[in-house]
Structure 1
Amino acid sequence: MEPAPGSAGSAGSGNGRWAATACVVTGASRGFGRSLARLLAPRLGPGSVLVLLARSAEPLMELAAELRGGGGTGLRVLCVAADLGSEEGLRRATAALREVLPAEPFGRLILVNNAGSLGDISKSFLDLTDPDEINTYFAFNVTSALCLTSTALQAFGKRPGCSRTVVNISSLCALKPFKSWALYCSGKASRDMMFQVLALEEPDVRVLNYAPGPLDTDMQLLARTETGDLEMRQYFQSLQEGRKLIDCTVSAQKLVKLLEEDTFQSGAHLDFYDV
């Protein structure tokens, strides 16, 4: 049975912060993941741990130092520098979760699957003939999200009175095809469906597919400069020129609000513009 709306947020510490929480954010070194980690950290109450995962060690450590020093909360912040697209990196990440998540009496688990890539958007569908390129893309964008999520849920386990929430950072591309974006669109669609299955199989896990909107990030810069299809490239350019790109912190604030209110239907796809 699905928890009553607000049940996860009710495990607060009475001062606006959540009770002891194990929070995991992938792709945390930059962009949306970095902004989200900054917003989540002050909400994590005593005994919480924030696990930051990304490829690049240096920006991760810089972010961790910033978050540890914020407000004297005593928050534990752990960095795991790992390439989730490689078997070795994924093993390192899952091993870290197996070590951290069962170790403390956390009242809540929040896992945000944010890490992702565009792939080679200069190519059309008919250019995608190299199986190594395609398999590498899906290893990072789909396989790692599945393995990390299943590992985290197993390691945390079912604990009486505790809540578990899994967020997939989705996209309009999960629902709508974009020319030159065959890999990205199919990867996002795969992830949405994968997490809908999780919501059905594990009704006590809260699952959300959140599309953050067209963010002002390095990924959007690639979109408007490297997209092979001219019409699509001009569309992305128009978003930037028309000041229609969304600041990462603004979108992350909406996600945090969704997590705090906890009234979404488990497995739902919610867009920035829907909430």
Structure 2
Amino acid sequence: EIEECERAGLQERGQREDRQAAFLLSGRLRRASGLSHEAHRRDVEQVYLRCSQGSLEWLYPTGAIIVNVRPNTESSSRRTADVFVCIKPQTFSQGSHVYLEHEGDLRLLLSDADQAQGAVRCFSLKEGALFVEAVPQRDISRKITAFQYELVPSQGPGAHMYPYLHQGPVTCKPCSDQDVLMAVCTSDFAGCGTFGDAASGSNQHPVVTATLRRLFHQKSGLFAWGGARGQGWRGRVSVPAACVVPPGEDEYLLTGSVHFGEAWLGCAPRYRDFLKLYAEAVNAGTNPCHVDTN
């Protein structure tokens, strides 16, 4: 499936570059007003993104494009309702406004000025497509609109901890026993360790250091071995402000997800509680995967 997605992405990229060359040179995309684009819909370029994550660059933007996210996965109305699209503009991105379009209605997601801040915006896949409208200007030669995108499930272990999927502040509620058992198997990273001090980040989403005595699995090399001193695996994890744990000696099961190259905390019970829960699941034959806790 990954290879198929990559092949589709390469083909799509080539087609997009051909289209870009056409409308950049010939100007066949007409400049449209974002609030009344329906009459010009035939002149607006359609772009399709079929992978679960990737990036898009629009060089020298003029007119408008509609970006449709169509993943190469089995679709159903229920599954679609549970999947969100998250976008993060590059800090150099400029020259356009990004809207969410649904049945002709537009809702602003990112203004031209917002994009330099790299702010993340998420919306449900069922809510529509992205309508990206170039800002009218005389000199477009130095403008590039560029953003990354990801498909993010809104349900599942620890999903409630990713703040961009929800309105309002994150409620720091503990995960259910079943979610904890699934989280240690399916999360982007899982290990046991301690929390350190806040390293950076905003007041709403501080980034804290974490040291893992044991690393069960990870992706993207988020945690690096501390070296000969035996300090364990060290990394940084974004945590909603309401869920920050004071630095201390208590060990936790740390699980979470990776979004745009950053680790976000998911389910994180005390490690001793997880060991008891896991042992009970093993005895009952209900553990979803094997974890080497010895």
Structure with more relative contact order (C-alpha pairs < 8 Å, separation 6 or more): 1
TM range (shorter): under 0.3
Per residue, is there more helix in 1 or in 2?
1
TM-score relative to the length of structure 2:
0.21
Which protein is bigger by CA-based radius of gyration? 2
